[in-house]
Amino acid sequence: MVGHRWIFLLAWRYLFPKKHFGTFFTWMSTAGIAAGVALLMIVLSIMNGFDTHIAKKLIQINGAIKIIARRPIAKDEAFLENIRRLPHVKAITPYVAGISMMQVGERVALPKCLGLEVSSAASVLPLERFLTKGSLNGLKDGAWVSESLAHECGLGVGDTFELYSPLALEAMRKEELLLPREITVAGLFKTGWAEADRSTVLLPLELSQELYALSDNVHGFSVEADRNCLAEVCRNVNDLLPPGLVAYTWNTLNADFLYILKLEKAMCFFVLLFVVAVAAFSMSSGLMSAVVRKRRELALLRTWGATKTALSLLFGLQSLVLGTLGLFVGFSAAAVILHERNAIVRGLTGWLLPKDALWNFYDVETLPAVWSRQDMLWIALLTLVMTLLASLLPIGRMYKLPFVQSLRRG
């Protein structure tokens, strides 16, 4: 037999006989592989979406770059101006952070207090986007309280609460009395990040400095910069910093948390890949049955000069065609489902859970999803590899066929 074009034609004919748009085996094998591919693509895309959403929240809350002081440092305008002049730096703002005791009537809480300079903080942190009640200028004279903390303490805009300085304990040791500050609630905010929303109070920078007896010192600075070159900007900032100050990018500060997210995605990929593996080896059982059913045809091909290698290629090509079809159908199904994901989730949450429960818990208006070419390439590569590996079983069965006896029996 001259050439190998007949192998491709025969492989296609076995899967798509004349007058038939595929066999039951063809479409069942395709459906199994497509289901695994679609499931993988949907889960990974949604996880990519949540990763992007979480990264956006972390940057919004902390700033793209954070300069942390080992001890309180003076808010030097000359130093701040030097940072602003660096390439790709957009803004910088000082902050004071710590824990205080808050009292509302008989209720006591220990919120995290963050002191901000309102004039510069709005250019680094999206404060207006977080604000749910009140005004941005209100932060100059009062405090913003996270919605969860305000609900727990029964506070609203215009109400007052008492805030005790951590230095009150030191004053008690000296048998002195440090009275609390009465502060007015100027606004309520919600960032969408549970850790920040659970118990946080935003204060004017001057008030925070008084609470912690910092004079004109601060605990650090938040920097807004071009997101495409944060590593370069961070290096440039560190070159300007005096001893005792270190700049970190948002992903360096949250490296452990981001590693867990990547590990979760890798585990999901690993576990769901078994769905494709099961479908691929289910396909191989069908091909093994085809080897037995078509043993007379295979024997005739051998007598006409076909080598065992050519016959092996015949079954390998069938596996490759089924894997390619499964990929095409799977990716198409994933694209349709991801396009309609919000309608699907809303229907499921309305039926299985209270309406909008998912949106309120994750603080997202739509289910995030990001289609990754890298994920798509890995899924395609591994799917084709597994379908080709699965073809080794029918090929091994074919090698054991007694071709001469099969031809005599025919």
> What pLDDT is attached to residue 353?
59
Whether 357 and 209 map to the same domain: the answer is no
Q: 108 pLDDT exceeds 50?
A: yes
pLDDT digits (tens, 9 = 90+) for 1-36: 445 666 677 666 767 776 667 677 778 888 889 999
Q: What is the mean pLDDT of residues 118-147?
A: 86
Whether 357 and 268 map to the same domain: the answer is yes
Q: 357 pLDDT exceeds 60?
A: no
Mean pLDDT, the chain, whole residue set: 82
Whether 285 and 347 map to the same domain: the answer is yes
pLDDT digits (tens, 9 = 90+) for 36-95: 999 999 999 999 988 888 888 888 888 899 999 888 888 888 888 889 999 999 999 999
pLDDT band at 362 (very low <50, low <70, confident <90, very high): low
Whether 45 and 76 map to the same domain: the answer is no
Whether 175 and 139 map to the same domain: the answer is yes
Number of structural domains the chain divides into? 2
Q: Where does a domain end: 234, 256, 278?
A: 256
Token pair 């700033």: residue: 63
Residue 70, phi-psi category: left (phi > 0), alpha (psi -120 to 50), beta (remainder): alpha
pLDDT band at 365 (very low <50, low <70, confident <90, very high): low
pLDDT band at 212 (very low <50, low <70, confident <90, very high): confident
Asked if 280 and 391 touch (Cβ cutoff 8 Å), the reply is no
Whether 35 and 67 map to the same domain: the answer is no
Asked if 387 and 319 touch (Cβ cutoff 8 Å), the reply is yes
Whether 373 and 329 map to the same domain: the answer is yes
Expressed as residue numbers, the domain containing 109 is 63-256
Whether 252 and 264 map to the same domain: the answer is no
Strand 101-104 relative to strand 160-164, pairing: antiparallel
> What pLDDT is attached to residue 202?
92
Please tell me the distance from the alpha carbon of residue 245 to that of residue 223, in angstroms, as a whole number: 14
> What pLDDT is attached to residue 407?
47
Q: Where does a domain end: 222, 256, 290?
A: 256
Between these two residues, 238 and 168, which has the higher pLDDT value? 238
Phi, psi of 228 (to 5 degrees): -80, -10
Whether 249 and 268 map to the same domain: the answer is no
Whether 351 and 211 map to the same domain: the answer is no
Sign of the four-CA dihedral 390, 395, 400, 405? positive
Whether 94 and 222 map to the same domain: the answer is yes
Strand 65-74 relative to strand 217-225, pairing: antiparallel
Lowest mean pLDDT among 179-183, 219-223, 333-337, 377-381: 179-183
Q: 150 pLDDT exceeds 80?
A: yes
Q: Where does a domain end: 256, 271, 296?
A: 256
Which of these, 21, 6, 20, lies nearest to 325 by C-alpha position? 21
pLDDT digits (tens, 9 = 90+) for 83-105: 999 999 999 999 999 888 888 88
Asked if 64 and 230 touch (Cβ cutoff 8 Å), the reply is yes
Whether 348 and 379 map to the same domain: the answer is yes
